[in-house]
Amino acid sequence: MKTLAIAVSLVFLVLSVPIFMVFGLGSAVVAIWDLNLPESTLIQVSFGSMTKHVLIAVPLFIFAGMVMLRGGAAARLVHFATTLVGHWPGGLGIAMILAMGFFAAFCGSILAAITAVGTIMIPQMVRQGYPKPFVIVLAASAAFLEALIPPSNAAILFSALTDVPVSRTFAAGFVPGFVLIILLGIVVTWKCRHLKNPVKATVGERLTAFRTAIPGLFTPIIILGGIYAGLLTPSESAAVAGIWAILIGVLIYRELTFQGILKALHETARITAVIFAIIAMATFLSVVLTYSQAPQKIITYFTEMGGTPLTFWLSVAVICLILGTFVEIVPVFYLTVPIFAVLALSLDQDILHLYVVFVAFAGIGMITPPVCVGVYTAAGVAKESPEKAFREVPLFVGVGIIFGLLMIFFPAAATWLPELLN
């Protein structure tokens, strides 16, 4: 029965059945008919997972990002980043990376971040002579910083799955996020070194840009300061960030309307429903895995095969790279992390190290065809055919793999800051 369910689920997956239904049907069939579990148990466990308090931060961060997008904060952040580094070789590209890293972190939606920052930066970069295909893949790659730089929704999902405090997972993403910014920055600088740069902004222009961006720049301070000072829970900090975003959009930038807030709420609800539908149904899968003792069997098999920490990390890398190519990161989380986490602990590996390595390799899928929503979205913003952008993909996949390998061989990148903050 299990083999049949897995085979049918794979067929459904390839034939574009929504993933929440694939998870739900495949797992429910095995749970009810093979493991004789009552439906009420499945539904009870599913509700238990989706109503975890830590997960409430996800829609609230999405809301804060949506309000900042509509309230004018995103545009000012992009302008500030441009005045800061725009005149460097490849400066506009670096400005886009910085703005994307900053905005994507609490936007909650990588696609919304690409649209927000890309709409402003991509035309500007193309006018300056940056090759369109390169800009498109760069935007998609930079948006992937969302999964690392706190407050990141990927960190919240990982915490919900592994019961690691969110404050520790947030901290684990800091250093790797900066490493990725540096790597992408090096690529842009090298690739666009021959391009004419915009005129260097004067000190006055920079100060003005900084002054107007201050309210937006203050948002992460509220979020992370509140959490690490012990004043706010992650969910409360996300809610306060949302209210702060409304206040600056209405009172300071005066660009946020009541309609804008309603649209932000509507978008928040839709994105949340997409993510939480997968969480609800993927929990069926974790019930099946638990009752069938799959993780224990995999650990035994792995140990008998003489598995070492290195082979474990390389297996994580390959599996995440393959799955990430075809499936988005949220389903991959729920499909693999429960097993990876048990294996990592059995091999005495740090669970935060797993978070970073997992995200590094699964995130490469954002830019690899055929399922590369990041590239499709950025191509839409740039009004360019995605196929033309694909020729730039290998370069960024290479960067992603180098980044992932760095994370495998230097676990301190993930564990140093959480230990320090402890």
Using CB under 8 A, list all residues that contact another protein.
12-21, 24-25, 28, 39-40, 42-44, 47, 50-53, 55-56, 59-60, 63, 226, 231-232, 235-240, 242-243, 262, 265-266, 268-270, 272-274, 276-278, 280, 326-328, 330-331, 370-371
Closest contact distance (angstroms) between CB of 288 and another protein is 15
**Which residue in the block uniquely carries the two structure tokens 């309307």?**
257
Q: Tell me the Ramachandran region of residue 109: left when phi exceeds 0, alpha when psi lies from -120 to 50, beta otherwise.
A: beta
53 vs 200, which CB is nearer to another protein? 53
The Cα 19–Cα 4 span in angstroms is: 18
Q: Are the beta carbons of 281 and 42 closer than 8 angstroms?
A: no
**Which residue in the block uniquely carries the two structure tokens 């070194």?**
193
Closest contact distance (angstroms) between CB of 159 and another protein is 15
Closest contact distance (angstroms) between CB of 309 and another protein is 31
Q: Are the beta carbons of 329 and 147 closer than 8 angstroms?
A: yes
373 vs 405, which CB is nearer to another protein? 373
65 vs 86, which CB is nearer to another protein? 65
Closest contact distance (angstroms) between CB of 252 and another protein is 18
Residues 6+ apart with CB under 8 A from 314: 408
44 vs 296, which CB is nearer to another protein? 44
Neighbours of 46 (CB within 10 A): 20
201 vs 375, which CB is nearer to another protein? 375
The Cα 18–Cα 397 span in angstroms is: 26
Closest contact distance (angstroms) between CB of 63 and another protein is 6
AA identity, residue 382: A
56 vs 104, which CB is nearer to another protein? 56
Read out DSSP for 163-211?
---HHHHHHHHHHHHHHHHHHHHHHHHHHTTTSPPPPPPPHHHHHHHHH
Closest contact distance (angstroms) between CB of 65 and another protein is 13
